[in-house]
Structures are given as C-alpha cells and as structure tokens.
Structure 1
Amino acid sequence: MTLASAASRISPDALLRVSIGVAVVTIVLKTLAWWLTNSVGLLSDAMESLVNLASATFALVMVRIAMRPADEDHPYGHHKAEYFSSGFEGMMIFLAAAGILWTAVERLLHPGELEQLGIGLALSVLSSVLNGTLAWAMLQSARQHRSIAVEGDARHLITDVWTSAGVVVGVALVAITGWQWLDPAVAIGVAVNILREGVQLMWRSTEGLMDRALEPEVLAEIDRTLAQFRHPTIRFDHISSRRSGKRRFVDLHMHMPAAWTLGRAAALRASVEQALMSAVPGLRATIQLLPSDVEAHAQDEQDLI
C-alpha cells in the first residue's frame, strides 16, 4: 500500500481532529516566533493559524452533521452541511486579514527593530512542515471521501504554507538589508493573499448550496453506463443532475415499448439503477418509465418563475 492510498483511507472526522491538534501546535510555534522576533510578518502568520483552528473545529462539527442519516425533516440527508464549513472559513479569513492589515499599517507608521531572527524563522519553518504534511494527507482523503469540508481545510493549510514561506523570505531580507519596512509590507502581502483564498472558499460554498450539476467526467461515466442499455426500442432523455455534499443525484426518463409488462419494465429499470450506482460512487438515480411514443416535459414553465 502506498503512502497516498494509506492517507486516503483516513476518515475526514479523524483528519479534522488531527488538524485541530496541529493548529494548536502551530499557533504556539508561530506565536513564540513572533514574541522572539517582534516581527509583524510572523504575527500575521500566527493570526492565520488561529483561523486554521477555528475552521478545523467548525469543519469537524459540520462533517459529523453531514454523516447523519436521512430523517423525516431531511429526506435527502444532511450532506450540504459541509458547505457551511467553507463559508465559515471564508468569513474567518476576512476577519484575520482585517486584523493583519491593521497591525501592518501600525508597524509601517511606527517601525520597530527585529530580534532573534534565527530561532523565530526556524520555528516558522517547523510549523510549515507540519501544515504541509497534514494538507497533503487531507487532500488524499478529500478525493476519496468527496468531502468539501476537508478539501477546504486542506487548501487553506496549503495557502498557510505559502504564506509562511513568504514571511520567512521577507523577514530574512529584513535581516540582510536592514530595511525595516519590508516586515509590515510582507504582512500586507499575507493579508491580500488570504483574502483571495477567502473569496474562493466563499464562492465554492455558494456554488455548492446552489446545486451545481455533476462534474463533466462523472456525467460522461453516466452516459457510458446508459449506452450499455440503449437499444432501438429503449432510449433515455431529460437527464439532469446535481451535487449535494458527497451525494450525487441524477434524474432521467427511460422510454420502452408500451407492450411491455410492468414487471419487465421495472426489472430493466432496477438493472439500470444498479449499473449507475456501481459506476458512480454515492449516486442516487431516479428513473421515470415512459412508453416509447410518449414525451414528457422535463421542466414546467411555472418552475422558471
């Protein structure tokens, strides 16, 4: 078993609990680095780690809600709860960016000397290694389990790693050149970078809540599966799809000879549904049976109002 496959087998719940622990450790490391160096660049890095902690905690709650089975009030399950995690993380990023910008502008107006840069930068690099390793494992798991909450947390951690790398380079340049203004300038760059990430997360959350169609490669797999059953007397049309968290849905019409018995038609429909669910993990197929000479409207004009 490869390392990637082993990582993909770890459940989202377990990885998010690990993420909370790593976030606490990195907050301690980065805060200590800021305290030793008096660098607002390193302070901004520590503030972003606070976002990691809040986001991982909220994502864990949402993942556990998403795992709840369908009930009377939620007949399609609770899978969309994960999208709230990405939205929350985006809002937390906006707050962190505002705090970083305030601190950076204050330092630009009142420059300060940096101290003990060697130890501070080493602590920052160590925290980046922890975040990078965790982000890699979370991306493997997110692909396997189709968890947007885990993917969102992983991508934010990757952004954090790049942020830390930029901060380390910026602080090192301050030590080399003596240009104190570089430190707050780097902090402003950090704020702008995580704002971009926050906008992307908010957009992904909104798109998920609006029921986007399935991915093109998944739709192609559905079409290949249906092709196995197509026949001069059997055809499929009015195919529509949507995503809801890790769940996938497809609705379609299946036309067949009017002379067929209900039992024969139902048996074929069951075979098609089973083939679709085997080909696409997490898919729920709803197939309406129609005689070959009957057409149905997939969408009523009232639905467009």
Structure 2
Amino acid sequence: MAVTPASARLMRAAGLASVGVAAVLIAIKLYAYVATNSVSMLSSLFDSALDLGASMVNLLAIRTAVTPADAEHRFGHGKAEPLAGLIQVAFILGSSLLLLFEVGKHFLERQAVQQETVGIFVMLISIALTMALILFQRHVIRRTDSMAVQADSAHYLSDFLANIAVIVALVLSSLFGWWWIDPLFGLLVAIFIAYTALTIGRTSLDMLMDREMDTAEREKIKAIVRDHPEVLNLHDLRTRIAGKDRFIQFHLELSPEISLKEAHRISDAVEAQVIEAFPEAEVIIHQDPYGAADRPSPRFG
C-alpha cells in the first residue's frame, strides 16, 4: 500500500532533522577536540561525522521509499529503507575501526586531556540536541513505523550514550588525573557503536531477504481469518516486510457448495478484517474448496 502524505511528510522531516543535528554536532565537537585533545571527544566527533553521511543516505532512502508504486516497481519502493540501514552499518563500523586506531595510539602515547570544562560544556549541548532529535524520531516511528527512521534513531541513541560516556571520562580525568580513563572510555564507545551496527544490519538484512512477519503477527492473522463464521480453514500463509509495508497472502478454504459470488463476498470480508488489523498491508487471498490443502499441489508433482 502507498505511504500516506502525512507519513511521507513526517519521514522527510525526520531525515532533514537528523542531517541538521549531525552538521551542528560536527562543528561544536571539532572545536572541543582541538581544545581538549581528548580521544573520547575525538570518538564522538568521528561518530557525528559518519552520522552526517549516514543521515544523508537515510534522507535519500526515505525520499525513494515514500515514492508510490509504479509500472516498474509494482510492490513499491519500501526496500530502499533496509538498504539504507545496511549502508549505515558500513558507516558505523568504519567509525569504530578509526576510533580503535586512535584509542591504541592514545594508550601508547599517554596523551593528557586539556581544558576539560570546554569539552564537558560542548557534550552537554550535544546531549540536549541528540535527545531532542531522538524524541522527534520516536514520534515519527510511532506514526509511520519507518525502518529507515528506526535505524537512524538507534544510531543516535548510541550517540546519546556515548556522549554521556565522554562527559564521565572528562570529569574523571580532570578530578583524578587518570590518563588511561579517556582512551578506556573511547574503547568502550567503539565496542558499543559496533554492536549497534550489527543490530541494525541484522534487521535490515531480514527485510531485504523477505523474512516472515513474527510468529505473534502470523498467529493474529490466522485467528482473524478463522474467526469468520463462513471460513472453514486457511493454508499456505506467506508474509514479508518491505520497509513499513507488509505483504500477506494465503489460501482461504470455503465450502465447495457455495457460488463464486459468495466466495468472493467472504474473501472481501476477510480481507477487510485483516487490513483493519494491519493498515499498511497488501493482502492477496486465493479461494479454495475445503480440503484442498490435503491434495498434492501441481507445482510439486
């Protein structure tokens, strides 16, 4: 089914907001890194720089995903969203590798942190901006169920936690003079970023590989279908997810004594009930006489 104009506007707004926030964070964190020489600050700067690239890819994916289905893409453009998720994984893992290199360098050279107050002030601004963006993204996710916005939100949540870690590292370094606390927190942030990337990657890959809807949703579909008093059974239920869209198809088993017109009426009623439960779904129903599932399918000999 096509994305509604309201959902499309929200998704585009979320994409533009993430690009804008990332650009601001890069500017203030670059200033803070030059002032403090903190590797944990540098780790946060790396992440924000890659956030900008990922968010720009995300914005392009959202613009594609909300494009209505056409003659060449009959199932819509929803897979642009998980594809953007995989591209984000590459960005995030790249930032983790660069950060690990810097962490190792600072462990070996024992570089001291300077002007911690500047770094702490900048990170507080970063936390406020990131939290505002996450709250807006969560609102958009609730309204649209967008995979691209979910991936972006998960990424910025990792940034939010990383920013807190940077503040803790700067405070401890300032109070106790522990030179090793700064690269240690940089290492922990790098590991957490990599974990976030793998989580996003698995979800995106599931969508691209047409993974079935989860068991609870499939059971809900079966219950809705079987609840109709004139439906005797169903079989060959198949589902898949592409972005925010769901595709559902199954064979409906009806009495062999009814007319084609009656079968069509029952099928329409069942389809309406399924769509009521899954508003973004495209539902395809094939009518079979009861017991057809027990006979061998011609496709399999």
Does structure 2 conserve the Cα–Cα contact (< 8 Å) formed by 1:86 and 1:201? Answer: yes
Equivalent residues in 2 for 1:224-239, closer than 5 Å? 224-231=223-230, 234-239=232-237
Tell me what 1:269 maps to: 267
Mapped to 2, the partners of 1:49 and 1:297 lie a distance apart of: 57
- Of 219-228 and 76-85, the range deviating more from structure 2: 219-228
Mapped to 2, the partners of 1:159 and 1:167 lie a distance apart of: 12
Alpha-carbon deviation of 1:132? Answer: 1.5
Does structure 2 conserve the Cα–Cα contact (< 8 Å) formed by 1:238 and 1:298? Answer: no
Tell me what 1:37 maps to: 36
With structure 1 as the length reference, what TM-score do the two structures score? 0.90
Matched, 1:81 2:106: no
Equivalent residues in 2 for 1:133-212, closer than 5 Å? 133-212=132-211
Question: Which one of the candidate residues 268, 287, 290 is aligned to 2:288?
Answer: 290
Tell me what 2:4 maps to: none
Aligned AA (1:76): F
Output one character per residue of 1:11-45: Cα deviation in whole Å (capped at 9) or x when no partner.
11111101110111111121111111111110111
Does structure 1 conserve the Cα–Cα contact (< 8 Å) formed by 2:226 and 2:233? Answer: no
Tell me what 1:3 maps to: none
Find the residue that maps to 2:69 and give its secondary structure: coil
Tell me what 1:12 maps to: 11
Alpha-carbon deviation of 1:293? Answer: 4.3
Change (3 A) 1:156 1:171: same
- Of 268-277 and 13-22, the range deviating more from structure 2: 268-277
Mapped to 2, the partners of 1:74 and 1:64 lie a distance apart of: 15
Q: Matched residues, percent identical?
A: 26
Aligned AA (2:201): M
Aligned AA (2:247): F
Output one character per residue of 1:80-101: Cα deviation in whole Å (capped at 9) or x when no partner.
1100111111111111111111
With structure 2 as the length reference, what TM-score do the two structures score? 0.91
Output one character per residue of 1:113-137: Cα deviation in whole Å (capped at 9) or x when no partner.
3222112111111111111221122
Does structure 1 conserve the Cα–Cα contact (< 8 Å) formed by 2:82 and 2:208? Answer: yes
Runs of 4+ in structure 1 over 4 Å off: 296-302
Find the residue that maps to 1:112 and give its secondary structure: coil
Tell me what 1:5 maps to: none
Tell me what 2:247 maps to: 249
Structure 1: segments with no counterpart, 5+ residues = 1-7
Tell me what 2:90 maps to: 91
Alpha-carbon deviation of 1:301? Answer: 4.9
Aligned AA (1:64): R
Aligned AA (2:188): G
Mapped to 2, the partners of 1:155 and 1:26 lie a distance apart of: 17
How well do the aligned residues superpose, as a CA RMSD in angstroms?
2.1
Does structure 2 conserve the Cα–Cα contact (< 8 Å) formed by 1:10 and 1:141? Answer: no
Aligned AA (2:271): E
Question: Which one of the candidate residues 259, 276, 279 is aligned to 2:277?
Answer: 279
Mapped to 2, the partners of 1:298 and 1:274 lie a distance apart of: 28
Mapped to 2, the partners of 1:27 and 1:134 lie a distance apart of: 15
Output one character per residue of 1:165-198: Cα deviation in whole Å (capped at 9) or x when no partner.
1111012111111121222222122211111111
Tell me what 1:4 maps to: none
Change (3 A) 1:93 1:298: farther
